[in-house]
């Protein structure tokens, strides 16, 4: 296939958290709000002249200082953020909106505060409580948290208009991004798709890490380009796989998997499109804030949701996506040391294989994996096993 | 005045069993075949030599002890007879699963100790005789049941070196825990569908996660609440250091990463190898205390799909009062769940009565703290540490017999303080505080530290929990208070809700208890604590505290052995403090396989 016009530009945007578009927006007077987790409603952080940047630590090398503070048995994503913060890599942020959804990420954000890694006068870090199940009262609590910790703080510190009208405007822009990415994402359903999993991962990541108003024109143009993009005469891949699991902000992992011949047709992970790129439907009967919070809680696929219906939802979603995107197998992945996904992956990789009948590859991985030979070998073996299954199926062998 | 209802409710023990004898016979045959295989494969020559060697070692030990005694001067001999032995390291022997003998504490204290030993046996026999067959049969179903046979050995280890009132207080406290364990073992065996299969009891029985506090059951006096994994996993791992090893291996073979906390790992592993009983008409799971524990409930649901589960979830940012109402609503929902599954009704009178008792027990606890904060601390050691956790977390004022123990201990501790007793006679050298969670497989570590180096642990982090008296009048406020209590459960109170709860709080407590030495446990798999290790180190250094970092793996002694834990202290005391041990025989000894 012909290369996408803006792919190299998008890749360059992912080389730094403080990328060209972030700098441009801040130069124009916009306020940059960092966050890491889906449980912080992205739309709320794009209210008024605020914009959100979902934090990454690209090109992470040594994380020795963070390891001193947080030990070597903790999430590398959390440690990479602390390391980068100590190096001064997040000085550009105007605030950090944190959630106490997983302890290691929460601690990482606390280090931002304690070690005073950002010297901006108005810089603040806030930590919100996130429910473990979806009920009326947990929704109320969640909504209150967003009001107090996000909206009230933004109003007080930066004088942002946080009215219902302003929230709805932010949702509208957010939905525009989501619609584009959903339309592009749906192209992966085709038998011979015009986009690779890697390209989609890059597009999705720039949508999380760049100011919406500045990235939107590029995304629109890319959508248009894709509509007329000619695929290769024959599919380039040997098997189609869906990914399910924890945080992947490194597109090189997707590249590694695709380098083994597996087309990553679906991305259900933190920083993926499910959840994150679903359109938020608002009605006029209820305040927008509450509706956004409900949307987040209902769409969240985080393993920390403990209730039975959410446990089943996660399994059904994995199954549904794999079917919709015509995957032949599922890769369950987990950031090493992530407690939530460690338990979830171990159990559900069995469940998906035994109860849902999916071939499953179960892996735990480091923060940066682009060059992992071990992972490559396992992915290659999985692709081969999927091919063998396909051949057996075609030959009628059980 | 209304008569206090009998506790535990006698109808629990009287509930009719429905043992499937055919299945028991099948199980007996399986066990029999295992025993037969073991018998066949035993190298009898090696067995004989092993015993010969043991007898030889015993003879040598007796000779050595005799010679050592005879080498003492007249006063030394008199001291040894009247006040007990001083070289406790000789109670351990290489390769032995138990100590070689019980400790000689002097005439008076040994006699008292023996009385308590007999009282404990009496209680166990009386309790198990309430329904002996399922209880004994449990030993044929679950290997963890066998570990409880060495509960006296566990008691001995926890009171090692104690004398006088300190010894009496420790015995009183641990007795209550053992009574609770024995009664629940009987009930658990009766209810287990593989064993006693008492449907009558199961209809009255609600199981809950071992990390869920027991107080909610105070409002259901006609129901039996059993912390489900407490007896097969949590508590037994304190008694026998090797209990959880098969669970951990099983779940890691299943695919769970080895870096997860051994508590939920062992719980899940016990489910994988079918080591947990099937019982009760519902299960209350919880999101506490941390991320790993949150996830364990899906393993339960997979193993017991027919047992309805309620997930009791509390806000993590517990100091933020804006989320408190949500926690109170969850408690209401939990109460409704129990009512729906059992047909019982929440009883406010019973709840308030128990909580009044709990408040009183808390005031007794505060009294202990006040005394331990002085220059003459009185109640130290593992028995007290275990009692505090058990009383706060599991008993919660429900058992009326416990208040009597608290009263007796209160009397003893006041007398001891007035007489300026020494909690560890001749061993009061360093005032220390324990931070983070202790290793289950080394429950008597503070006992060793006192006996070997004179390091006296005044208080543990896990003891310093919620002490506000709970509301006993206003019903809505009572639920909010209960939520506040649950949010501050053992461990969670410090490791959740922000770093200041564990870091800043430590410096505050060191000051309050006048402790300069900190035993800083480092559970290698505890993410909540690992993520503040640099801050603790930095700030501790700035403040001039001595931190002894002691790694452990909570329930897996293979990662960090007891000996390695001791070595950390030995090294620190020798090199940093330039100290001499109080009892040199305890610096180096073998207890790798000792329960």
The verdict on residue A373 lying in a domain is yes
Q: What is the mean pLDDT of residues A185-213?
A: 98
3-state class (DSSP) for residue B20: coil
pLDDT the model gives residue B290: 86
**Interface probe with A: pick from B248, B250, B253, B255, most Cβ of A within 10 Å:** B255
Write down the pLDDT at residue B2: 58
Interatomic CA distance for residues B538 and B37, integer angstroms: 57
| Residue-range definition of the domain harbouring residue A347 | 232-394
Averaged pLDDT, B270-280? 96
Residue A336 lies in a domain: yes
* Nearest residue of chain B to residue A147 (CA atoms): B322
* Cross-chain Cβ contact B499/A303 below 8 Å: no
Structural domain includes residue A9: no
Q: How crowded is residue A397: how many other Cβ atoms within 10 Å of its Cβ?
A: 9
Cα–Cα distance between A352 and A323 in angstroms, integer? 13
Say what the pLDDT of residue B3 is: 66
Instruction: Write the pLDDT tens digit of every residue in B536-594.
Output: 999 999 999 999 999 999 999 999 999 999 999 999 999 999 999 999 999 999 998 88
Is the pLDDT at B232 greater than 80? The verdict is: yes
Distances (CA, A) of A230 to A10, A104, A188, A218, B410: 21, 44, 14, 20, 84
Question: Residue A311 domain-assigned?
Answer: yes
Q: Averaged over B378-382, what is the pLDDT?
A: 96
pLDDT in the model for residue B311: 95
B275 band by pLDDT with thresholds 50, 70 and 90:
very high
Domain count across chain A: 1
**Which chain A residues are closer than 8 Å to B325 by Cβ?**
137, 140-141
Q: Which of B496, B498, B524 sits opposite A110 (nearest CB)?
A: B498
Report CB contact under 8 Å: A339, B292. Answer: yes
A70 contacts B294? CB cut-off 8 A: no
pLDDT at res. B97: 86
Cross-chain residue pair B311–A135, CB shorter than 8 Å: no
Mean pLDDT for all residues in chain A: 96
B-chain residues within 8 Å CB-CB of A342? 256-257, 259-260, 292, 295
The residue-averaged pLDDT of B412-421 equals 98
Q: Is residue A248 part of a domain?
A: yes
pLDDT tens for each residue of A322-379:
999 999 999 999 999 999 999 999 999 999 999 999 999 999 999 987 778 999 999 9
* pTM of the shown model: 0.95
Q: Report chain B's mean pLDDT, rounded to a whole number.
A: 95
Q: Domain for residue A22, yes or no?
A: no
A77 Cα to chain B: minimum distance (Å): 13
Q: Which residues contact B202 (CB under 8 A, 6 or more apart)?
A: B191, B193, B279, B280, B281
Strands (E), B6-149: none
DSSP string, B170-199: HHHHHHHHHHHHHHHHHHHHHH-TTTT--H
**Using 50, 70 and 90 to split pLDDT, how confident is the model at A190?**
very high
Position A162 pLDDT exceeds 70: yes
Q: Report percent pLDDT > 70 for chain B.
A: 99
Domain holding A301: CATH number?
Answer: 3.40.50.11900
Query: What's the confidence (pLDDT) of residue A372?
Result: 87
Please report, rounded to a whole number, the percentage of residues in chain B having pLDDT higher than 90.
Answer: 95
| pLDDT tens readout for residues A68-115 | 999 999 999 999 999 999 999 999 999 999 999 999 999 999 999 999
> Computed from CA positions of residues A247, A253, A254, A258, in that sequence, does the dihedral angle turn out positive or negative?
negative
pLDDT at B240 exceeding the cut of 60:
yes
Chain A residues touching residue B297 (CB < 8 angstroms): 306
Residue B1 confidence (pLDDT)? 52
> Shortest CB distance from A68 goes to which of B302, B316, B534?
B534
Give the model confidence (pLDDT) of B339-360 as tens digits. Answer: 999 999 999 999 999 999 999 9
By the 8 A CB rule, do B226 and B277 touch?
A: no
Chain segment B36-61, per-residue pLDDT in tens: 999 999 999 999 999 999 999 999 99
Q: Reply yes or no on whether the pLDDT at A35 is more than 60.
A: yes
Residue B523: what pLDDT? Answer: 93
For residue A217, name the pLDDT band (cuts at 50, 70, 90). very high
Digit-coded pLDDT (tens) for B439-489: 999 999 999 999 999 999 999 999 999 999 999 999 999 999 999 999 999
Residue owning tokens 């309050």: B512
Cα angle vertex A3, ends A218, A203, to 5°? Answer: 40
Q: Is the pLDDT of residue A398 over 70?
A: no
ipTM of the complex: 0.94
Q: Residue B166 burial (CB < 10 Å; 0-12/13-18/19+)?
A: buried
- Residue A16 placed within a domain: no
Average confidence (pLDDT) over A233-240:
96
Residue A216 covered by a domain: no
Q: Which residue in B212, B308, B323 has the most chain A C-beta atoms within 10 A of its own C-beta, making it the best mutation to test that interface?
A: B323
């Amino acid at each position: 296939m012909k290369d996408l016009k803006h792919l190299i530009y998008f890749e360059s945007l992912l080389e730094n958290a403080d990328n060209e578009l972030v700098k441009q927006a801040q130069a124009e007077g916009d306020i940059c709000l960092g966050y890491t987790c889906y449980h912080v409603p992205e739309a709320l952080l794009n209210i008024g002249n605020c914009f959100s940047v979902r934090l990454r630590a690209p090109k992470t090398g040594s994380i020795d200082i963070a390891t001193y503070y947080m030990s070597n048995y903790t999430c590398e994503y959390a440690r990479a953020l602390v390391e980068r913060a100590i190096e001064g890599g997040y000085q550009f942020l105007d605030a950090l909106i944190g959630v106490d959804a997983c302890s290691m990420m929460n601690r990482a954000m606390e280090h931002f505060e304690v070690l005073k890694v950002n010297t901006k006068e108005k810089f603040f870090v806030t930590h919100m409580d996130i429910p473990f199940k979806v009920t009326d009262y947990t929704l109320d609590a969640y909504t209150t948290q967003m009001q107090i910790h996000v909206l009230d703080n933004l109003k007080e510190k930066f004088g942002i208009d946080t009215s219902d009208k302003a929230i709805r405007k932010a949702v509208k822009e957010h939905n525009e991004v989501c619609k584009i990415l959903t339309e592009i994402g749906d192209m992966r359903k085709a038998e011979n798709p015009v986009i690779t999993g890697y390209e989609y991962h890059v597009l999705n990541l720039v949508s999380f890490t760049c100011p919406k108003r500045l990235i939107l024109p590029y995304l629109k143009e890319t959508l248009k380009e894709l509509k007329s993009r000619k695929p290769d005469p024959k599919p380039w891949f040997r098997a189609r796989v869906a990914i399910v699991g924890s945080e992947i902000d490194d597109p090189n992992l997707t590249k590694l998997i695709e380098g083994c011949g597996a087309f990553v047709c679906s991305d259900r992970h933190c920083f993926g499109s499910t959840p994150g790129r679903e359109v938020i439907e608002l009605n006029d009967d209820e305040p927008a804030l509450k509706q956004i919070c409900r949307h987040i809680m209902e769409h969240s696929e985080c393993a920390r949701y403990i209730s039975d219906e959410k446990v089943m939802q996660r399994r059904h979603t994995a199954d549904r996506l794999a079917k919709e995107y015509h995957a032949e197998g599922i890769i369950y992945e987990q950031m090493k040391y992530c407690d939530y996904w460690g338990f979830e992956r171990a159990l559900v990789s069995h469940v998906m294989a035994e109860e849902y009948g999916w071939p499953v590859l179960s892996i735990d991985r480091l923060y940066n994996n682009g060059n992992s030979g071990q992972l490559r070998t396992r992915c290659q073996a999985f692709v081969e096993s999927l091919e063998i299954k396909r051949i057996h199926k075609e030959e009628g062998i059980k | 005045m209304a008569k206090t209802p009998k506790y535990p409710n006698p109808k629990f023990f009287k509930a009719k069993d429905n043992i499937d004898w055919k299945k028991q016979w099948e199980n007996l045959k399986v066990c029999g075949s295992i025993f037969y295989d073991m018998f066949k494969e035993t190298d009898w020559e090696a067995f004989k030599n092993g015993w010969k060697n043991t007898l030889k070692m015993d003879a040598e030990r007796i000779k050595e002890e005799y010679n050592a005694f005879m080498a003492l001067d007249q006063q030394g001999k008199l001291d040894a007879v009247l006040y007990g032995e001083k070289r406790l390291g000789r109670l351990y022997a290489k390769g032995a699963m138990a100590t070689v003998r019980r400790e000689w504490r002097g005439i008076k204290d040994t006699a008292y100790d023996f009385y308590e030993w007999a009282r404990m046996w009496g209680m166990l026999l009386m309790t198990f005789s309430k329904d002996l067959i399922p209880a004994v049969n449990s030993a044929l179903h679950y290997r963890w049941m066998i570990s409880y046979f060495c509960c006296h050995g566990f008691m001995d280890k926890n009171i090692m070196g104690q004398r006088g009132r300190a010894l009496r207080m420790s015995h009183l406290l641990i007795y209550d825990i053992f009574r609770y364990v024995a009664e629940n073992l009987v009930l658990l065996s009766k209810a287990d569908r593989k064993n006693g299969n008492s449907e009558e009891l199961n209809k009255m029985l609600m199981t809950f996660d071992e990390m869920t506090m027991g107080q909610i059951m105070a409002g259901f006096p006609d129901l039996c609440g059993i912390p489900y994994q407490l007896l097969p996993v949590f508590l037994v791992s304190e008694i026998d250091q090797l209990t959880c090893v098969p669970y951990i291996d099983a779940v890691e073979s299943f695919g769970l990463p080895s870096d997860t906390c051994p508590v939920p790992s062992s719980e899940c592993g016990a489910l994988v190898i079918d080591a947990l009983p099937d019982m009760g008409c519902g299960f209350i799971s919880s999101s506490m205390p941390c991320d790993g524990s949150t996830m364990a409930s899906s393993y339960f649901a997979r193993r017991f799909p027919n047992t309805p589960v309620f997930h009791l979830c509390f806000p993590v940012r517990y100091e933020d009062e804006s989320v408190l109402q949500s926690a109170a609503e969850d408690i209401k929902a939990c109460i409704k769940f129990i009512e729906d599954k059992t047909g019982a009704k929440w009883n406010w009178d019973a709840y308030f009565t128990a909580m009044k008792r709990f408040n009183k027990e808390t005031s007794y606890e505060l009294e202990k703290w006040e005394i331990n904060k002085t220059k003459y601390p009185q109640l130290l050691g593992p028995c007290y540490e275990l009692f505090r956790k058990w009383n706060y977390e599991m008993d919660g004022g429900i058992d009326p017999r416990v208040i009597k123990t608290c009263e007796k201990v209160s009397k003893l501790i006041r007398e001891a303080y007035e007489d300026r007793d020494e909690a560890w006679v001749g061993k009061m050298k360093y005032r220390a505080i324990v931070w983070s969670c202790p290793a289950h497989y080394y429950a008597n570590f503070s006992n060793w530290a006192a006996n070997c180096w004179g390091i006296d642990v005044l208080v543990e982090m896990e003891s310093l929990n919620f002490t506000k008296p709970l509301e006993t009048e206003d019903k809505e406020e009572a639920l909010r208070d209960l939520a506040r209590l649950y949010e501050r459960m053992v461990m969670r109170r410090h490791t959740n809700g922000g770093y200041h709860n564990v870091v800043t709080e430590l410096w505050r407590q060191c000051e309050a208890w006048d402790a300069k030495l900190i035993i800083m446990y480092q559970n290698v798999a505890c993410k909540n604590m690992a993520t503040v290790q640099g801050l603790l180190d930095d700030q501790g250094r700035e403040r001039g505290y001595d931190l002894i970092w002691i790694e452990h793996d909570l329930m897996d002694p293979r990662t960090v052995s007891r000996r390695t834990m001791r070595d950390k202290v030995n090294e620190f005391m020798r090199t940093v403090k330039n100290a001499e041990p109080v009892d040199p025989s305890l610096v180096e000894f073998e207890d790798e396989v000792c329960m």
